[in-house]
Chain A
Amino acid sequence: MDKAPGTQGRARGQDGFWQGLLRRRCAVLAALLLGTLLAAAASEAPEVGDNPAAERHMMQLAAELRCLQCQNQTLADSNAPLAVDLRQEIRELIAKGQNDQQIKEYLGARYGDFVFYRPPVQANTLLLWFGPGLVLLGGLLALYITLKRRLARLEAEGEVADLSDADARRAQHLLDEETGESSLS
């Protein structure tokens, strides 16, 4: 950058260093700020339309539908051109008096089940819908069987014997002692 001769050169060079650092920091800050602003602007799709109730209805529907251009966003969230178009399409279908089911069918016929964030229960989605429940049931069953087997084994080995009265009293005494100690500390 600046190349000043003489003794002043060093000072100015140092100034340049600090200025550069400051400038760089400003640039980083500006970039961060811009990023936040952009993110804020991107997070909400602009609402258009003169009928607020219909607009709310449209956004409600759009929140259940997937944007095909940015696949991890709903149609309501996305600002992709296609999402904007499809929101307009939904708006018009609502204005035409179509109900939610008809509108979903309209989109499903064009883009497939993929547009539904809540896929219909049908043959190829059974595992998706009930798989987690099945896994849970399987886990519970496995747990039950394991515990049952262990109990049977321990009983067979005579480890689970009924306590005699004297043993029970002794055990109770030990337990009391322990809680007493722990309450002291």
Chain B
Amino acid sequence: MATARKSLAVFLPLAVFLVIAWFLYQGLYHDPREIPSPLINKPAPDFRLESLESPGRVVERKDMLGKVWLLNTWASWCVACREEHPVLVEFARSASIPIIGLDYKDTRIEGMRWLTQYGNPYAASAFDEAGRVGIDYGVYAVPETFLIDKQGVIRFKQIGPVTPELLHDTLLPLIERLNA
């Protein structure tokens, strides 16, 4: 009896080790830079901004009600956006849903040069010079992309560049479901 208990106790350090190892192992697959957004499944914050290309025009969240759409935050100074851009241009060509650009803390000249140089995948580009709309959307690392449904509710957020894999495996099925 006592010896049986003793031999079990021998395995206690191993058990503790395994628990710790399991936690550490999980940690390997968590990117600390990816902070879960509290905005998922919440109404997308309202915004009303000037258009990047035509300063008089207004781009609003209201305009997009009734449509499933992507809000893509980007900036001409953002290196990862450069990598993401062709994916968006390609996606816009297939044009299943509109992409609204949010040019975050940029200058008009640089932003517009970016669009002429690399192509414009956006149905409209909102110019968020002060970054206030970015704050409302909890943007902390451009590029970030939000998928918003017909009721104006945020359904998905991508932190970092949209990749073809993400589009194919996650976004397109989700868009299909939201459009149904």
Stretch at the interface among A50-58, A94-102, A107-115, A163-171: A107-115
In the complex, the answer to whether B135 meets A89 with C-beta atoms within 8 Å is yes
In the complex, the answer to whether A71 meets B135 with C-beta atoms within 8 Å is no
Q: Does B83 contact A (CB under 8 A)?
A: no
- B residues 61-78 near A (Cβ < 8 Å) are none
Q: Does B137 contact A (CB under 8 A)?
A: yes
User: Which residue of B105, B131, B136, B138 is within 8 Å of A112 (Cβ)?
Assistant: B138
Residues of chain B within 8 A (CB-CB) of A85 are 130-131, 135
Main secondary structure of the interface of B (DSSP, over half): loop
Give min CB distance, A11 to chain B, whole Å: 51
Q: Does B15 contact A (CB under 8 A)?
A: no
Question: Which residue in chain B gives the minimum CB-CB distance to A82?
Answer: B140
In the complex, the answer to whether B35 meets A112 with C-beta atoms within 8 Å is yes
In the complex, the answer to whether A69 meets B32 with C-beta atoms within 8 Å is no
Question: Which residue in chain B gives the minimum CB-CB distance to A112?
Answer: B38
Instruction: State how many residues of chain B have any CB contact under 8 Å with chain A.
Output: 16
Residues of chain A within 8 A (CB-CB) of B32 are 71
Q: Does A45 contact B (CB under 8 A)?
A: no
In the complex, the answer to whether A81 meets B137 with C-beta atoms within 8 Å is no
Q: Does B37 contact A (CB under 8 A)?
A: yes
> Contact residues of A with B, CB < 8 Å?
68-69, 71, 81-82, 85-86, 89, 108-114
In the complex, the answer to whether A111 meets B36 with C-beta atoms within 8 Å is no
In the complex, the answer to whether B136 meets A110 with C-beta atoms within 8 Å is yes
Give min CB distance, A58 to chain B, whole Å: 16
- B residues 139-169 near A (Cβ < 8 Å) are 140-141
In the complex, the answer to whether B39 meets A110 with C-beta atoms within 8 Å is yes
| A82 to B66 Cα, complex, angstroms | 32
In the complex, the answer to whether A110 meets B33 with C-beta atoms within 8 Å is no
In the complex, the answer to whether A110 meets B35 with C-beta atoms within 8 Å is no
Residues of chain B within 8 A (CB-CB) of A68 are 35, 140-141
Give min CB distance, A90 to chain B, whole Å: 11
In the complex, the answer to whether B137 meets A110 with C-beta atoms within 8 Å is yes
Residues of chain A within 8 A (CB-CB) of B140 are 68-69, 82, 111
Map CB proximity to A onto B16-42 as digits: 1 under 8 Å, 0 otherwise. 000000000000000011011111000
A to B CB contacts below 8 Å, 19 in the list:
A68-B141, A69-B140, A69-B141, A71-B32, A82-B140, A85-B131, A86-B135, A89-B135, A109-B38, A110-B38, A110-B136, A111-B37, A111-B38, A111-B140, A112-B35, A112-B37, A112-B138, A114-B35, A114-B36
Question: Which residue in chain A gives the minimum CB-CB distance to B42?
Answer: A109
Most buried by B among A68, A69, A108, A113: A68
In the complex, the answer to whether B38 meets A108 with C-beta atoms within 8 Å is yes
| A10 to B162 Cα, complex, angstroms | 62
Give min CB distance, A149 to chain B, whole Å: 10
Map CB proximity to A onto B87-127 as digits: 1 under 8 Å, 0 otherwise. 00000000000000000010000000000000000000000
Question: Which residue in chain B gives the minimum CB-CB distance to A69?
Answer: B140
| A94 to B85 Cα, complex, angstroms | 39
Give min CB distance, A70 to chain B, whole Å: 10
Residues of chain A within 8 A (CB-CB) of B36 are 112, 114
Residues of chain A within 8 A (CB-CB) of B130 are 85
Residues of chain B within 8 A (CB-CB) of A110 are 38-39, 135-138
Give min CB distance, B167 to chain A, whole Å: 25
| A85 to B94 Cα, complex, angstroms | 37
| A63 to B37 Cα, complex, angstroms | 22
Give min CB distance, B143 to chain A, whole Å: 14
